[in-house]
């Protein structure tokens, strides 16, 4: 073996060593090139909505510091660019309308609400006030990321108030819902709010599906099971199951939310 080969081999072994790959620096380096927890599912959903021509807005329940909201926005921008510049020229004659979406972020901006729900295994983590990040902090982050102010509406408040019938402003049609609010009660509010707004072909992502040790009678899983039982006008096809779980939405009612075409 030449000296060069041996050097390359040693370097490779060093770079691939778990000690380096799973160090903090290694993790950050990998994050540059591969999506983090749940981000791959967001990217896949965004791409499918663009390919399927599903109109409607993007809604996030559970903004915290705005990281996933920013990801949603950049992911959309990327796939719009891809379709406009790379795919459209290939589809000769096809000239799909650009999909303009508004982004909505719903949060208390005071962290999780007080609750007495069972939270298997995570009593301290999923406690009142956890994940508190002020609205001004999130707004500053969006500005720093140069996301146009007109593209995003942040709606502060507890869901039982901010999503209640008669309140506004809200999206009329939702193409993508990212539900990341940890609790059964919070998720139940979000889903009821979404019921008339989800368009045919929409996608719902549950970020916390496996929280509460994955108990089906707790958290997002419980809220979704109860929701499905009382909304026969909506059917759901599982799309992706990883650390998050997502579903494609089909509307059985003709006049309900609205044209997803
Ligand atoms: C885990 S954090 C969201 C993380 C964020 N999506 C991210 O990836 O960075 C959960 C968020 O849900 C919000 N939340 C949970 N229940 C809520 C409720 N009932 N009303 C308003 N906000 C709520 C909390 O304030 C918190 O910011």
Domain locations in the chain as residue ranges? 35-251
Spatial neighbors of 11 by CB under 8 A, at least 6 apart, are none
Is the pLDDT score of 204 beyond 60?
yes
Q: Is the pLDDT of residue 255 over 80?
A: no
Instruction: Name the residue of 39, 74, 108, 220 whose CB sits within 8 Å of the most ligand 1 atoms, as the mutation to test its pocket.
Output: 108
Ligand 1 near 39 CB (within 6 A): no
Two structure tokens written together for 200: 């045919």
Closest by Cα among 42, 30, 31, 32 to 75 = 42
Superfamily of domain 35-251 in CATH is: Vaccinia Virus protein VP39 (3.40.50.150)
Separation of alpha carbons 175 and 198, rounded Å: 6
Give the confidence band of 94 by pLDDT, cuts at 50, 70, 90: low
- Per-residue model confidence (pLDDT) at position 177: 98
Phi, psi of 111 (to 5 degrees): 90, -165
Comparing 93-97, 124-128, 165-169, the range with the smallest average pLDDT is 93-97
Average pLDDT over residues 146-165: 97
Is any atom of ligand 1 closer than 6 Å to the C-beta of 188? no
Q: What is the pLDDT of residue 82?
A: 82
Q: Which among 107, 114, 141, 154 is the best mutation to test ligand 1's pocket, defined by most ligand atoms within 8 Å of the CB?
A: 107
Mean pLDDT of 142-152: 96
Mean pLDDT of 49-61: 93
Q: Which of 31, 37, 64 is the pocket-test mutation for ligand 1 (most atoms within 8 Å of CB)?
A: 64
Closest residue (by CA) to atom 20 of ligand 1? 158
pLDDT of residue 20: 82
Residue 45 pLDDT greater than 90, yes or no: yes
The distance of Cα 132 from the centroid of its chain, to the nearest Å, equals 18
Tell me the average pLDDT across 58-78: 95
Residues 6+ apart with CB under 8 A from 25: none
Map residue 261 onto helix, strand or coil: coil
Ligand 1 atom with the shortest distance to the CA of 111 = 25
Question: What is the structure's pLDDT at 16?
Answer: 81
With a 6 A CB cut-off, is 141 part of the ligand 1 pocket? Answer: no
Cβ of residue 111 lying under 6 Å from some atom of ligand 1: yes
Per-residue pLDDT at 92: 66
DSSP run (H or E) holding 81: helix 67-82
Q: How confident is the model at residue 55 (pLDDT cuts 50, 70, 90)?
A: very high
Our answer on whether the CB atom of 67 is closer than 6 Å to any ligand 1 atom is yes
Output the CA 63–ligand 1 centroid distance in Å: 5
> What confidence tier does 139 reach under pLDDT thresholds 50, 70, 90?
very high
CA of 232 to the centre of ligand 1 (A): 28
Q: Kindly state the helix (H) or strand (E) to which residue 251 belongs, with its residue range.
A: strand 245-251
Peptide bond into 209 cis (omega under 30): no
Residue reference for tokens 């990217």: 43
Structure tokens at 221: 């899983």
Q: CA 199, CA 207: separation in Å to the nearest integer?
A: 20
Residue 57, ligand 1, Cβ within 6 A: no
Is residue 261 over pLDDT 70? Answer: no
Task: Using the atom order of ligand 1, give the atom closest to the CA of residue 207.
Answer: 6
The response to whether residue 224 sits with its C-beta less than 6 Å from ligand 1 reads no
State how far the Cα of 11 lies from the Cα of 72, in Å rounded to an integer: 37
- Indicate which residue's Cα is closest to atom 13 of ligand 1: 62
The least confident of 14-18, 38-42, 216-220, 235-239 is: 14-18
Q: Which residues pair with 57 in a beta bridge?
A: 174
Assess contact for 77 and 149: CB atoms under 8 A: no
Residue 211 has a CB neighbour count (10 Å cut-off) of: 21
- Cis previous bond, 170, omega within 30: no
| Among the ranges given (15-19, 214-218, 229-233, 252-256), the one the predictor scored with the smallest mean pLDDT | 252-256
**Mean pLDDT estimate for the chain:** 89
């Amino acid at each position: 073996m030449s000296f060069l080969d041996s050097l390359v081999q040693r370097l490779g072994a060093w770079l691939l060593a778990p000690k380096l790959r799973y160090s903090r620096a290694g993790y950050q380096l990998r994050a540059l090139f591969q999506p983090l927890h749940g981000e791959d599912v967001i990217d896949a959903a965004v791409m499918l909505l663009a390919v399927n021509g599903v109109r409607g807005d993007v809604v996030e329940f559970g903004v915290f510091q705005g990281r996933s909201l920013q990801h949603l926005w950049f992911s959309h921008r990327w796939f719009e660019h891809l379709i406009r510049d790379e795919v459209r020229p290939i589809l000769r004659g096809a000239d799909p309308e650009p999909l303009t979406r508004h982004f909505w972020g719903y949060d208390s901006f005071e962290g999780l609400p007080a609750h007495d729900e069972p939270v298997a295994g995570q009593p301290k983590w999923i406690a009142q006030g956890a994940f508190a990040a002020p609205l001004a902090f999130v707004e500053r982050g969006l500005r720093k990321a140069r996301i146009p102010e007109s593209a995003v509406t942040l709606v502060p408040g507890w869901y039982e108030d901010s999503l209640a019938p008669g309140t506004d402003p809200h999206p009329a049609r939702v193409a993508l819902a990212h539900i990341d609010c940890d609790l059964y009660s919070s998720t139940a509010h979000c889903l009821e709010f979404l019921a008339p707004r989800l368009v045919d072909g929409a996608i719902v992502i549950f970020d916390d599906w496996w929280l509460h040790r994955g108990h089906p009678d707790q958290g997002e899983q419980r809220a979704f099971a109860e929701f499905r039982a009382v909304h026969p006008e909506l059917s759901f096809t599982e799309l992706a199951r990883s650390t998050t779980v997502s579903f494609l939405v089909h509307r059985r009612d003709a006049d309900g939310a609205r044209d997803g075409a």
